[in-house]
Amino acid sequence: MNIKLEIQKMAKEIGISKIGFTTADDFDYLEKSLRLGIEEGRTTGFEHKNIEERIYPKLSLESAKTIISIAVAYPHKLPQQPQKTEFKRGKITPNSWGLDYHYVLQDKLKRLAKGIEKLTENFEYKGMVDTGALVDTAVAKRAGIGFIGKNGLVISKEYGSYMYLGELITNLEIEPDQEVDYGCGDCRRCLDACPTSCLIGDGTMNARRCLSFQTQDKGMMDMEFRKKIKTVIYGCDICQISCPYNRGIDNPLASDIDPELAMPELLPFLELTNKSFKETFGMIAGSWRGKNILQRNAIIALANLHDRNAIVKLMEIIDKNNNPIHTATAIWALGEIVKKPDEAMLDYMRGLSPKDEHSQAEWELVCAKWQI
């Protein structure tokens, strides 16, 4: 029996788009860049904390010999558009369409592992998605899934960069695959397209400047990034949109997609309670940051759309003052939407008594803008 061939067949039946095999040798070449990213403050803080565990697979599975890397492709175009309504919509980026990819990958990894158990005795393994220890992109590159582009994403000819990645660290002895023989060449479209210049050009980035991180970070969003997120309330895929490898691809669904969740109505989104948010959005990847951060982003999106229908809701958020970040962001948003305030709006702004430093700062900026 050719176990590698059998695993490849099984992967296809499970719905795994690409599968590759590599040794469980160390990824010690990553150590310098991983440590440098931390020292220079370029990491998000969401990464696995133990660097040794990130580069030494045997710390996760002592008997490790082969790592099986999997990729599940997902679409970057909605299968259907949401209904037209009176409300303006925001955007959630494609990696968070449909069922949370952690669940998608974990299910496929479990099914693959159970299938392998039937093929061989004494099978030992450890499954990982991006919340695990290993650097998924490094594993996928060495296993021949694709190359790591200048945007830091794994890119394949078949599926572009729109792939979810995961791996099984195993005690199997399987012939490793070769790395792909293509790459970015001298193309720099992603570098030129990135609105925050967060890409360094060697496959690494200043992750804290990435708009995807900005939509997930807590607190006030820095002024520099607010207009740059446009109407996106979770994620960013500008570097993917600009990539030539993503042109003309039509990836299959990784799970069912509800277009109403992929492009949510912004004003109704601000009405969501914790309970209704979890019930409606709880199964998408973007929900992990919770309602409050995404609602802050929705306020910014309404400002970027100059949606005058949002004015009453923004004033309600300010008056209730239940969430200082929402309050301060709503004050800024009013200043963006209302270009020529009437006397009633000027009186409203004069009558505000900000209760915290963020609201005070945004109030002062709007007052200066409106020459109050």
Residues acting as catalytic residues: 130
Read off the tokens for 236.
Answer: 């960013």
State the DSSP string of 204-267: -B-GGGSHHHHTT--SPPPHHHHGGGTTEEE---HHHHT-GGGTT--PPPSS---HHHHS-BHH
How many Cβ atoms sit within 10 Å of the Cβ of residue 49? 9
Task: Please give the Cα distance from 46 to 54 (Å, whole number).
Answer: 13
Residue 71 forms beta bridges with which residues? 18, 165
Paired tokens of 155: 């890119």
CB 178 within 8 A of CB 229: no
Pull the structure tokens for residue 26: 């160390």
Alpha-carbon distance values, 21 to 67, 162, 177, 252, 339 (Å): 6, 20, 5, 23, 58
**Are the CB atoms for 208 and 215 separated by under 8 Å?**
no
Contact criterion met (CB below 8 Å) for 177 and 144: yes
321 CA to centre of own chain: 29
State whether residue 147 is helix, strand or coil.
strand
| DSSP-derived 3-state class of residue 126 | strand
Residue 299's H or E segment, with its range, is helix 291-304
3 state DSSP class of 23: strand
